[in-house]
Amino acid sequence: MINRSRQIFHVLHYPSFIKFDSSSHQGPSKNITFAGDSPQTSPIPQLAMRRRAFHFVVILLLSHALLSSSFHHPLFTDEELTDPSSSSSSNAVDDDSDDLEETAEWDDFGKPRNYDPGSWLSFMGSLSFANSSDPREVVYASGVRHMISAASSSDPAEMDAAATEIETAASAGFPHAQSTLGFLYGIGLARIQSRPKSFLYHHFAAEGGNTQSKMILAYNYLRQEMYEKALKLYAELAKAALASHIAPKEPRVIEHVRIHRGTEENTEALRKSRGEADEDFQITEYQALKGNSAAMYEIGMLYYYGLRGVKRDLARALHWFSKAVEKRDPRAMEMLAEMYGIGAAVEMNYTKAFEWLALASRHKYYPAYNGLGYLYVKGYGVEEKNYTKAREYFLKAAEHNDPSGYYNLGMLYLKGIGVKKDIAAATKFFITSANAGKPKAIYQVARLFEKGLGLNKDVQMATYLYKTVAEMGPWSSLSRWALESYLKGDVGLSLLLYSRMAELGYEVAQSNAAWILDKYGEQSICLGESGFCTDTERHHRANTFWWHASEQGNEHAALLIGDAYYYGRGTDRDYERAAEAYMHAQSQSNAQAMFNLGYMHERGLGLPLDLHLAKRYYDQALEVDPAAKIPVKLALMSLWIRKNNADSFLVKMIDSLPELYPRFKVWVDEVLLDEGNATILTLFACLLAVLYLRERQRRPAMVPREPDVAAN
């Protein structure tokens, strides 16, 4: 949980990380302090696990909002937007705003380039280093291929050989090999775990240009609250992430699927991630084939972005969008405009892009106005640039709550293009767009926090927001391959990829990797420092992943960490640290954690013996989760007995139950629930029932005596 005055709010129920209008909601809206305002303060929660739930919430917000809103690519960037004639009108802001007007090195319609060099995806897709002229690269490629194969087949010998090859390339100064070797040392895979060595290799790799190592360093700096260093890296990575969204080889919308729900497999989410094999996809495709324009558009979107396990196929996307356009679907018209604008499956043609956007706008599809505004700003597909028309179109899109329209209006006011520069107005537009999940808007808000323009300078907040955008970079595609491997039954490879993603700071990957280690640990898929993981290694690795996930706001992870310390699973029993973890989960309204804290206060385990606090926690658990009614009632009964009959036989019996229960459970599992014994016991119970019924039938019916009649 983050310190200072940042409140936590669940994105699935509160769909914005910043509220500009403080009258619309109590609490979170007060977190943003504009320049000149007095900062809001609130008590700092006394919790050592602390500090970092906010950026996890923002990440979830962004991934959630992207699936609903970011299909409409924000076609307006800060490249080439400075109007040479606007310098005379720049007196509305301080000279410091010039820092926000730097010219970017890429354009929305520019040529794509590799923003994730050395990625393992090169060995899972069609790319290859086999023909490289650099011998270090060839050795590295061989090592990674063997590492992937070893993880898939759970072969310790092959993994050790792979680590040797990777170390050879790393020793020769190849940065991508250094990054992978840092990963091996970091988790203790075919090498003795060493955090210092891991950090050192990632440092060298980052200096050599490896972006994944930069992500890892930034995440480590953030965990240590070294915000200045983390901000510098995350800002660079966020910019690269946005640049990579231009005609990417990998889908720019990556779904981070949680493969578990609590301790069980998340079967519903996994079912929806099986691509064309999913029943929902087949039903939608059938409807599309029958002429349903909405289904045509949806199928086109699935192919265009590669969502729900569907393999990205721009040609099929073009086919279905074209079919939907025949049915006059304006959303499909806008998507055709985008495809022509960036040259996706068609030859780039700005004139056709303009025509499709104009047609969509005539059907009152307001996001299309945003695209028209962009074309007038850049002068693409039109006779000449026209900033007045651009502003009109952006304003029309924004008036109908189009996030990209708000973003582009913000850019106009930020740079003074066709309007007077106005940082305050730009800030409002950026925040509104960012609330809808627009990556570029979140990036701009982060820059405003970093520079202290329009908002009070806040390096910590800027760091979290940059992290949100950075985690959308091409390196996030490892998550898709990890999920695909899991769905194919290749759990070992899935664990390897999720572990790498976990190292980069992705909370979902951290919890997925930890869950796999707990769920499949006994199936020899965990490779350790030498051979297969020992139970201690496996528990330690899982607990580390759970711990990192809990720091980022995963309440279930915090609960499992508490259980690990309470029961001594994979670590020494430590009631105080268990209580610390439960308090972290409790702060996120976890009913089980509240109940556990009440239990520990009732018995003085890791917390002071305090029956009043125990009752308070029990009551809170019932308020949060009505399903806890029975255990809470029993706990309150136990509490009443303990309070009014201290040192009695009943109290001693209650205290002995935790020790008796495991033995009773074992007896039930091994004796009563044994298949043979259960059958015999069932037959015996049936026999007793039959004998009882027969006995009742033999009993003569009792005739009631007639009352004596008094003689007259």
Summarize pLDDT for 471-510 with one digit per residue, the tens.
999 999 899 899 999 999 999 999 999 999 999 999 999 9
Which of 155-164, 524-533, 636-645, 647-656 is most confident?
A: 155-164
Q: For the chain, how long is the longest CA-to-CA vector?
A: 131
Q: What is the pLDDT of residue 276?
A: 79
Q: Which residues contact 204 (CB under 8 A, 6 or more apart)?
A: 175, 178
Q: What is the pLDDT of residue 122?
A: 80
The least confident of 246-255, 411-420, 453-462 is 246-255
What is the residue type of 383? E
Answer for the pair 187, 172: CB distance below 8 angstroms, yes or no.
Answer: no
Query: How much is the average pLDDT of 235-261?
Result: 79
Q: What is the pLDDT of residue 685?
A: 67
Answer for the pair 357, 368: CB distance below 8 angstroms, yes or no.
Answer: yes
**Nearest partner of 144 among 490, 476, 493, 530, judged by Cα:** 493
Q: What is the pLDDT of residue 555?
A: 83
The least confident of 92-96, 129-133, 704-708 is 92-96
Q: What is the pLDDT of residue 91?
A: 38
In this prediction, residue 73 has a pLDDT band, given cuts at 50, 70 and 90, of: very low
Answer for the pair 66, 305: CB distance below 8 angstroms, yes or no.
Answer: no
Q: At what angle do helices 507-520 and 555-567 cross, to 10 degrees?
A: 40
pLDDT in tens, 312-371: 899 999 999 999 999 999 999 999 999 999 899 999 999 999 999 999 999 999 999 999
CA distances from 499 to 290, 515, 621 (A): 44, 11, 33
For tokens 């914005």, name the residue: 16
% residues pLDDT > 70 (the chain): 73
Three-state secondary structure call for residue 419 = coil
**Nearest partner of 46 among 579, 481, 683, judged by Cα:** 579
| Selected residue with higher pLDDT from 12 and 403 | 403
First to last CA, the chain: 95
Q: What is the pLDDT of residue 700?
A: 59
In this prediction, residue 253 has a pLDDT band, given cuts at 50, 70 and 90, of: low
* Mean pLDDT (the chain, rounded): 79
In this prediction, residue 687 has a pLDDT band, given cuts at 50, 70 and 90, of: low
Task: Output b/e per residue, 290-314; b: 16+ Cβ within 10 A.
Answer: eebbebbbbbbbbbbbbbbbbebee
**Alpha-carbon dihedral angle through residues 427, 428, 430, 435, given to the nearest 10 degrees:** 130
Q: What is the pLDDT of residue 467?
A: 97
Q: What is the pLDDT of residue 567?
A: 87
In this prediction, residue 133 has a pLDDT band, given cuts at 50, 70 and 90, of: confident
Q: What is the pLDDT of residue 127?
A: 46
| pLDDT(273) > 80 | yes
Query: How much is the average pLDDT of 139-151?
Result: 95
**Nearest partner of 578 among 615, 607, 549, 614, judged by Cα:** 607
CA distances from 30 to 51, 363, 674 (A): 18, 40, 59
Q: What is the pTM of this model?
A: 0.77
Q: Round to whole Å and give the CA distance between 643 and 630.
A: 20
Task: Output b/e per residue, 564-601; b: 16+ Cβ within 10 A.
Answer: bbbeeebeeeebebbbbbbbbbbbbebbbbbbbbbbbb
Nearest 5°: CA angle at 453, between 73 and 238?
40
Classify burial at 287, counting beta carbons within 10 Å of its beta carbon; exposed 0-12, middle 13-18, buried 19 or more.
middle
pLDDT in tens, 571-602: 789 999 999 989 988 888 889 999 999 999 98
User: Structure tokens of 132?
Assistant: 């490289």
| Selected residue with higher pLDDT from 5 and 494 | 494
In this prediction, residue 113 has a pLDDT band, given cuts at 50, 70 and 90, of: confident
| pLDDT(1) > 60 | no
For tokens 């991934």, name the residue: 63
Q: What is the pLDDT of residue 259?
A: 94
| pLDDT(36) > 50 | no
The least confident of 192-201, 207-216, 597-606, 682-691 is 682-691
